Amino acid sequence: MKFVLRIWMFAVLAIVLCTSSVMAQENATPTRSNETQPANASNEAEGKPRTPLAEFRLSPGDVVELKFFYTPELNVTVQIRPDGVISAPLVGQVVVAGRTVSEAVDELQTRYSKVLKSPSISLQVRNFSGHKIFIGGEVARPGTFDLSSDVSLMDALLEAGGPKYTAAKYALLIHKSEDERPLVRKISLERHGTEVAEASLVRMAPFDVVMVPESKIAHTDRWLDQHIRQLIPASMGVGFSYLFSGGALIP
């Protein structure tokens, strides 16, 4: 019995020491590197404009409306097909996915100049259904969300219910580069002094993936639960209080 009791006390001491060590690391002031420090955080605090966003490009699934100034009978609302093409009156199939709105209008103007005397065309995006972002990890409601406006990474996390109490103090943003290679960036979710959180400055792009990892203390707590707490018999914890008499162990 004494041997079993000593094993139990050693396990309890290990849990306390491990948890205390991890909490000290978690609460320590992090050293911010040049990679994670928001370059324009001071500009934001001073009211200066953010870095300009990348120009919007059409993608499959978007719903666009074509308006003809001189020939309104040709006005039409169409959805961009999975192959990036729309069916336009009189000129047929036109590839618009991957182009900016102005580039798509230029292409339409060129096509319609062959069948209309003075084409004057505008293109408006009515639905951004083809633009999705993906949020997973330690958030309340992980899943897929529509990107229909200028949204920061922090806005996206709040749309997913916000980080859980087990979440780390940073998120991983996976963005597809122009050559289709995934780029991973570590984004801080914390405020430091008068600066705004870096996640409030980073803008989301279509098909971005956000992963919020588990904090160190939550990871350690889960490890302790799997490898120590669940291995201790319940009967040992129940009978332990009866081994004390006036603060001293009964031999």
The C-alpha atoms of residue 66 and residue 74 are separated, in whole angstroms, by: 8
Three-state secondary structure of 48-113 = CCCCCCCCCCCCCCCEEEEEECCCHHHCEEEECCCCCEEEECCCEEEECCCCCHHHHHHHHHHHHC
Residue 208 has pLDDT above 70, yes or no: yes
Beta-bridge partner residues of 137: 212
Amino acid identity for residue 213 in this structure:
P
Percent of all residues in the chain with a pLDDT value above 70, rounded to a whole number = 63
| pLDDT tens column, 131-171 | 788 999 999 999 988 876 678 899 999 989 999 988 999 99
Q: What is the pLDDT of residue 35?
A: 43
pTM: 0.51
Cβ distance 77 to 123 under 8 Å? no
What is the number of other CB atoms lying within 10 angstroms of the CB of residue 196? 17
Cβ distance 186 to 170 under 8 Å? yes
The mean pLDDT value of the chain amounts to 75
198 exposed, middle or buried (CB, 10 Å; 0-12, 13-18, 19+)? buried
User: Tokens for 124?
Assistant: 């408006």
Q: What is the pLDDT of residue 109?
A: 93
The C-alpha atoms of residue 168 and residue 184 are separated, in whole angstroms, by: 16
What number is the average pLDDT over the span 56-84? 90
Residue 236 has pLDDT above 80, yes or no: no
Percent of all residues in the chain with a pLDDT value above 90, rounded to a whole number = 36
pLDDT band at 1 (very low <50, low <70, confident <90, very high): low
Residue 187 has pLDDT above 50, yes or no: yes
pLDDT band at 215 (very low <50, low <70, confident <90, very high): confident
Q: Give the domains, in start order, of the chain with CATH numbers.
A: 2-24+219-249 (no CATH), 63-127 (3.30.1950.10), 131-214 (3.10.560.10)
Quick one: which H or E segment has residue 22? helix 2-27
| pLDDT tens column, 35-61 | 444 444 444 444 444 444 556 788 888
